[in-house]
Amino acid sequence: MDISSGSFPPSGEDSQWIVEGSDQTFMQDVIEASKHSLVLVDFWAPWCGPCKTLIPNLEKVVNQAAGEVKLVKINIDENQGVAGQLGVRSVPTVFAFKDGQPVDGFQGAIPETQIVAFIKKAGAGGALEQIEQALAAASQAFQDGELDQSASIYAQILQAMPDNSDAMIGIARCFVAKGEYNKAKDTINAMPPEMQKLPQVKSILTAIELSDDGSSSDDQSSELEAKISAEPDNFEAKFDFAKSLSAQGDHQKAADQLLEILEKDLEWNEGAAKEQLLKIFEAAGPTAEVSKTGRRRLSSLLFS
């Protein structure tokens, strides 16, 4: 796949690939249609809570598959014939049909990632695979420091799939890494409310907060570093220097300054150093090396 070409499948309207089915239209909507593409049949009911959780995820993934998969939703309260023939005992129940035959199925509300895996196991999802590869390439570019390239790939993904949470979060991270905090905020504000509640988004907001909280000039940072060199136990200077380093995105060096304070006084300034350190961990993310090693060091201090 040539990621740089931006050759992603276009995002389509729900009506193209998602229909309300019935016992009467089952032959046409499912059996005949499955001879041309994979068809998912979702048996649901208006009173079913898990159905309300599953349906949006199904619809999102089917739209992302861009025509490789069709979704037929059948209300079992109004259509019990086919559901009875297929032995549906509870809802939601989903069957995958291919070449006129059911080839797989699952029950209950499963997350989006498992729906993608289900579709790929049934022999479809090439478009989903393409997006996954692009997301991996964008992530690798970010790790390599190629921020413009990473942001460009994320932007291409969003052109094809405007509600892709990984791409929206990824491009916001790129803006933060480039110091373009207003663009990062605009990206977050454009996210659906549910997406804004994700831990990854909270991490980005914390990184922005740290940048606002610790902004200082290079001269001020140099002065603080010189003061610490002359006065190693000047915790106030260490704390201000750590905030300055956090604002510059140097989480590791900032964490080291704070941990040096905590090694001598765990409750310094009513826990300010500990609180600032936890913000750094959140901004960096749980898989970052500074978070993993820093938490281990902090735990050893807390429980020694």
Is the predicted pLDDT of residue 35 greater than 90, yes or no?
Answer: yes
CATH of domain 218-302: 1.25.40.10
Q: Give residue-wise pLDDT tens across range 224-271.
A: 889 998 998 999 999 999 998 888 888 999 999 999 999 999 999 999
Which percentage of the chain shows pLDDT scores above 70?
92
Position 127 scores a pLDDT of: 73
pLDDT of residue 13: 43
Query: Per the structure block, which two tokens stand in for 281?
Result: 């961990």
* Whole-number pLDDT of residue 214: 56
> What's the whole-number mean pLDDT along residues 278-302?
91
Asked which of 22-26, 51-55, 146-150, 241-245 is least confident by mean pLDDT, the reply is: 241-245
Instruction: Please compute the mean of the pLDDT values over residues 178-207 and round it to a whole number.
Output: 91
Reply yes or no on whether the pLDDT at 186 is more than 60: yes
State the pLDDT at residue 193.
Answer: 87
Adjacent-strand bridge partners of 40? 71, 96
Q: What local confidence, expressed as pLDDT, does residue 159 receive?
A: 84
* Segment 158-167 mean pLDDT: 83
Please tell me the CATH code under which domain 7-124 is placed.
3.40.30.10
For position 49, what pLDDT does the model report? 95
Q: What pLDDT sits at residue 11?
A: 43
Flag whether pLDDT at 10 surpasses 60: no
Q: pLDDT grade, residue 215 (50/70/90)?
A: low
Q: Which CATH class is domain 128-190?
A: mainly alpha
* pLDDT reported for residue 6: 40
Residue 221 pLDDT class (50, 70, 90 cuts): confident
pLDDT, tens digit (0-9, with 9 covering 90-100), for 106-157: 999 998 889 988 998 888 767 778 888 899 999 999 989 999 999 999 999 8
Do the domains spanning 128-190 and 218-302 agree at the CATH topology level?
yes
> Among all residues, which ones are annotated catalytic?
48, 51
pLDDT band at 1 (very low <50, low <70, confident <90, very high): very low
Per domain, the residue ranges of the chain are 7-124, 128-190, 218-302
pLDDT of residue 218: 61
Least confident residue range of 124-128, 159-163, 246-250, 284-288: 124-128
* 5 confidence band (pLDDT: 50, 70, 90): very low
Report residue 188's pLDDT band, with 50, 70 and 90 as the boundaries.
Answer: very high
Among 64-68, 99-103, 198-202, name the one with the lowest average pLDDT: 64-68
